[in-house]
A = this chain, B = another copy of it.
Amino acid sequence: ATKRVKCSDWVTLNVGGKYFTTSKSTLTTKEPDSMLARMFAGDEDGYLFTPSNIDKNGAFLIDRSPLYFEPIINYLRNGQLIYDSNINPEGILEEARFFGIESIIPTLEQIIAQQSVNRDNLPLT
């Protein structure tokens, strides 16, 4: 089930100072209409990034949180929204909205609403 990756398909993103290496197809296939997909939709010298938005290591600069980008990129890789117990889903929701990953927004909103209900129903201390 490994997918073939063409030579020019690998991209490295510098998200807020942390590097993520992935493929153009991961960024564009799962949610082709997202802003993230559209950033990488052109042919390889046609990405929406101007040279000034590429760092000295050749990585594409994105001014967002690396912490919450991690579950977003994993979702684009394998279609599952998975995150660790200490991670705040509100942070993931912010990034999903920013990058336009619409398909996980309802799930995240539901998780956050449920947490809020649980908190309100806690016995008073």
A52's nearest neighbour on chain B, judged by CB, is: B7
* Cα–Cα, bound, A55→B19 (Å): 13
Residue from B7, B55, B82, B86 in contact with A86 in the complex, judged by beta carbons closer than 8 Å: B86
Indicate whether A107 reaches chain B with its CB closer than 8 angstroms.
Answer: no
Task: Report yes or no: A5 in contact with B94, Cβ–Cβ below 8 A.
Answer: no
Task: Report yes or no: A84 in contact with B87, Cβ–Cβ below 8 A.
Answer: yes
B-side contacts of A16, CB under 8 Å: 20-22, 73, 77
Chain A contributes a number of interface residues (CB within 8 A of B) equal to 53
Q: Is the interface of A mostly helix, strand, loop or mixed?
A: mixed
Task: Report yes or no: A121 in contact with B125, Cβ–Cβ below 8 A.
Answer: yes
Copies per complex?
5
Can you list, as one digit per residue, whether each of A17-38 has a CB less than 8 Å from chain B (1) or not (0)? 1111111001000000001000
Residue from B21, B55, B80 in contact with A17 in the complex, judged by beta carbons closer than 8 Å: B21
Q: Please, could you name 18 A-B residue pairs with CB atoms under 8 Å apart, sorted by A?
A: A1-B35, A2-B98, A6-B52, A16-B21, A16-B73, A17-B18, A17-B19, A17-B21, A17-B22, A23-B63, A65-B70, A65-B78, A67-B70, A82-B94, A83-B88, A83-B91, A84-B91, A86-B86
